[in-house]
Structure 1
Amino acid sequence: MRSAAASATIAGVTEIRVLTDDAQYRAHNTLFRRAMHWGPPTDDQWKLTQPSYEDGRVHAAFEGDTMVGSTQSFASTMVVPGGAKVPHAAVSRVGVRADYTRRGVLSALMREQLSTLPDPVATLRASEGRIYGRFGYGLATRVRFLRVDARKAAIPGAMTGSVRMLDPDTAEKTLPDLHTAAGLGRPGQITRWQGWWVRAFDRTGDSNNLVTVVHSGLDGDDGYVSYKVSEDKDFKHHMEVEDFVAANADAWRDLWIYLTRLDLIDTIEVDAALDDPLAWLFEDPRVVYTKDVFDQVWLRLVDVPRMLAARTYGQAAPVVVEVRDKLLPANDGRYRISPEGAERVDAAADITIPVDLLGAVYLGDTRFSDLAAARRIEGTRFDEADALFASPVAPLCSTFF
């Protein structure tokens, strides 16, 4: 990948620049918010947002001196199948002014951002499902939105550990390290940057009335849950779980015992992985209702050889996968995938796949055979490829950005 440049000229209209100061960052944030049909940030909102702007990671499109498009990334790391952690770019604040859409501005921004990223993989949350496939992003994780009927939720037995409630000052000091230690157990999970935590601990906005409870097991702190409770016009109390981290099954079970034994709670809503066994905790599994299953992160393999080498593979005969990447042609090539790893080869391909769909199968959420059935990829030996890329647990990214 080529090194970052101060700017890049796009034929006809747009110049892509790397922004460098707070005034530019605030204009960037205003443009993005306008693209989302929100008003510009107030002074208080900007005070919370400013720490999330990182030098070298903020791109904007200009026509002359007029900013017409925005994108940025946050430096992070991602867990891949097998447990390795790789440098990762959390891409966000992607927007184009309404009077400049359909003119190649977004394509120019995506091309420049991806070609200059220092990280081998990027993910984003897509506002619309049809936008990002053409830039090499594939739908890589999905999430279940669950509702628990707390009035009927009975978990047999007692806790195996203990819980303690944190005051806001202690939570602010404790949670970042605890999340890093206990919250990265699944493929797709990412570390959180300083600006993320600034917003999470804002006591004047979304985190007002937030309660945090930490779990301790035999080896010390190994999980936590943060939640808010609201009351409706019928005096029913509804809990929203904002953050749930558990390093092991005991912490997971004990935290749910705590939540479901609280007084004055009628319902609990939580986001969960596709394979989360929550219903099996309860004497009546019907107390857990799946409201929806929705796409979560879209994954872009920026450096395909490095990312294929970073993860582990299941037991199956080797398969040669040919990757095609229109935006980053250095990724084009054939890769032999085996239980021992991945390497570039000149052998004939068993499967041909575009880079966006390779991103979709990379974490194990989607199978090659499903893509073949949908006529999205070509080749043979899809069952072996499924076994090689399978993950023993469903991927998830519980950090919203």
Structure 2
Amino acid sequence: MSEFHVRAVAEGEQRACLQVLEEALHAKPIADEAWAKMAPSWPAEGKFAAFDDHDTPVGITSSFDVELTVPGGRKLLTAAVDGVGVRADWTRRGILTTLMAVQLEDFAARGVPLAALHASEGVIYGRFGYGPATFCKGISVERPRAQVRDGVGRDGAVRIVTPAEAVERVPALYNRFEGTRPGFTTRPAQWWPGFFDRVVTGGGGYRVAIHSGPDGDDGFVVYQTVDMRDRQAPERGALLDIRELQAATPEAWAGLWRFLLSVDLVSAVAGRGRPLDEPIAGLLTDPRAVNTTEVMDDLWVRLVDVLAALRGRTYGAAEPVVLEVLDKQLPHNNGRYAVGQDGVERTTAEPELRLDVATLSSLYLGHGFFADLAPAGHVEVLDEAAVDRADTLFHTARVPWCGTFF
């Protein structure tokens, strides 16, 4: 079979390229109605594809630009990688490696300091310099055992809105959130049609409720109910499944949870992708009504420009540490960096810790510790005293969390 060639996707080729991605992910063919809703979120810009000698796409990689909140509160330009796939009959031929290289080179040429993605498999993206930088949990709350403590979550009101009102109001509401937590991403206009509007207007049974406080709308939740009744348990209540819950204030967050736990004929409230530090048990008179069902990696980050990315965030109170960074894909990042409270500089000083860019990317948003990664061989320790300093510099008090799928 002939070789492939890689180029930017041209206008009009998006649907065929999306079909390649859908096939790689074992999804059904894209119907006309689904494409009409998805198309605004799938422009040609930011896409590279591998084509056969008939100019038919056989592999795809896609991204769009967002801003990612980093420790200290700054928002850095980030390439959000929203699709990578190779057609089944073209795998194991170097297409993925070529596409990822072309994409990274494009990010670097455009001056984008960071890239991020949600990995379909945990073994793929580390070799391209990505590392799991935020984690999340799945939870299940038993009902009616879960009773919210008196006086909590009663400030404000919650109302269920129509799909049309949700499409109109929620984007502006989300844009009001300050996003001070590391890992938070902005949602540009092209994100909403494919990732929100399509869900709430697609006939899948999703509902949207909005919380309003003293200053107006300040939180929302997207959820659906799943009938759990069967012959053995005909009176079993429904499962209320949370797709997304976002709140600008603690009061809005508590109010939304009080609402969810008050819905009648529900046996359990569950959600995936929740923050590791979400204190749901603290809301309840019986904290044992909450169960963590899973902990998983969420956002994978890649430092495209190591110096710019390191300079973009703040650090804890410790003496500087010298890191030697190794980057096979983008060799301009190779070198030594003196990282401290007062700034980051390239240096010729002797390194104290040596690590590859994937490991540094994993630690970048403040989750995890150098001390934990060193025994597993991810960090080469050249000065034992540097490990504690590095952990103090990089680790954040608040757990990073993304909360946006792409």
**TM-score, normalised with respect to structure 1:** 0.92
In the alignment, which residue of structure 2 is the partner of 1:92? Answer: 82
The verdict on how the C-alpha distance between 1:224 and 1:307 changes in structure 2, with shifts beyond 3 A counting, is same
Establish whether residue 201 from structure 1 lines up as the match of residue 203 from structure 2.
no
C-alpha displacement at 1:187, in angstroms?
1.0
Provide, for residues 176-208 of structure 1, a one-character-per-residue CA deviation record: whole Å limited to 9, x for no partner: 121122272321111123333113223786564
Q: Matches of 2:19 and 2:337 in 1, distance apart? A: 43
In the alignment, which residue of structure 2 is the partner of 1:9? Answer: none
Establish whether residue 291 from structure 1 lines up as the match of residue 293 from structure 2.
yes
Q: Matches of 1:124 and 1:89 in 2, distance apart? A: 9
C-alpha displacement at 1:359, in angstroms?
0.6
Q: Matches of 2:207 and 2:188 in 1, distance apart? A: 21
Q: Matches of 2:217 and 2:172 in 1, distance apart? A: 11
Name the SS of the counterpart of 1:194 in structure 2. coil
In the alignment, which residue of structure 1 is the partner of 2:159? Answer: 164
In the alignment, which residue of structure 2 is the partner of 1:7? Answer: none
Q: Matches of 2:8 and 2:175 in 1, distance apart? A: 30
In the alignment, which residue of structure 1 is the partner of 2:126? Answer: 133
Match of 1:223 among 219, 228, 236: 219
Q: Matches of 1:222 and 1:397 in 2, distance apart? A: 18
Match of 1:176 among 171, 178, 183: 171
Match of 2:136 among 115, 120, 143: 143
Name the SS of the counterpart of 1:335 in structure 2. strand
Q: Is the 8 A contact 2:41 2:192 kept in 1?
A: no
Establish whether residue 328 from structure 1 lines up as the match of residue 333 from structure 2.
no
What aligned pairs does 1:76-115 form with structure 2 within 5 A after superposition?
A: 76-115=66-105
Partner AA of 2:157 in structure 1: S
The verdict on how the C-alpha distance between 1:49 and 1:387 changes in structure 2, with shifts beyond 3 A counting, is same
Establish whether residue 19 from structure 1 lines up as the match of residue 12 from structure 2.
no
Match of 1:28 among 11, 17, 24: 17
Which piece of structure 1 moves more, 133-142 or 213-222?
A: 213-222
Identity %: 40
C-alpha displacement at 1:105, in angstroms?
0.8
Name the SS of the counterpart of 1:239 in structure 2. strand
Match of 2:62 among 72, 77, 80: 72
In the alignment, which residue of structure 2 is the partner of 1:6? Answer: none
What aligned pairs does 1:359-378 form with structure 2 within 5 A after superposition?
A: 359-378=361-380
Gaps of 5+ in 2: none
Establish whether residue 191 from structure 1 lines up as the match of residue 203 from structure 2.
no
Q: Which runs of 4+ in 1 moved over 6 A?
A: none
Name the SS of the counterpart of 2:254 in structure 1. helix
C-alpha displacement at 1:304, in angstroms?
1.0
C-alpha displacement at 1:63, in angstroms?
3.0
Q: Matches of 1:68 and 1:348 in 2, distance apart? A: 46
C-alpha displacement at 1:126, in angstroms?
1.3
Partner AA of 1:67 in structure 2: P
RMSD: 1.8
Match of 1:153 among 125, 129, 146: 146
In the alignment, which residue of structure 1 is the partner of 2:347? Answer: 345
Partner AA of 2:394 in structure 1: F
Which piece of structure 1 moves more, 57-66 or 326-335?
A: 57-66
The verdict on how the C-alpha distance between 1:194 and 1:242 changes in structure 2, with shifts beyond 3 A counting, is same
Establish whether residue 41 from structure 1 lines up as the match of residue 36 from structure 2.
no
Q: Matches of 2:222 and 2:180 in 1, distance apart? A: 18
Partner AA of 2:216 in structure 1: G
Partner AA of 2:298 in structure 1: Q
Q: Matches of 2:73 and 2:23 in 1, distance apart? A: 39
Provide, for residues 203-227 of structure 1, a one-character-per-residue CA deviation record: whole Å limited to 9, x for no partner: 7865643222222233332212121
Q: Matches of 2:91 and 2:40 in 1, distance apart? A: 29
Gaps of 5+ in 1: 1-11
Name the SS of the counterpart of 1:46 in structure 2. helix
Q: Is the 8 A contact 1:242 1:270 kept in 2?
A: yes
The verdict on how the C-alpha distance between 1:360 and 1:204 changes in structure 2, with shifts beyond 3 A counting, is closer
In the alignment, which residue of structure 2 is the partner of 1:213? Answer: 209
Q: Matches of 1:62 and 1:56 in 2, distance apart? A: 17
Q: Matches of 1:162 and 1:361 in 2, distance apart? A: 39
C-alpha displacement at 1:136, in angstroms?
0.5
Q: Matches of 2:287 and 2:336 in 1, distance apart? A: 47
Partner AA of 1:232 in structure 2: M
Q: Is the 8 A contact 1:202 1:208 kept in 2?
A: no
- The size of the alignment, in residue pairs, is 389
In the alignment, which residue of structure 1 is the partner of 2:400? Answer: 395
**TM-score, normalised with respect to structure 2:** 0.91
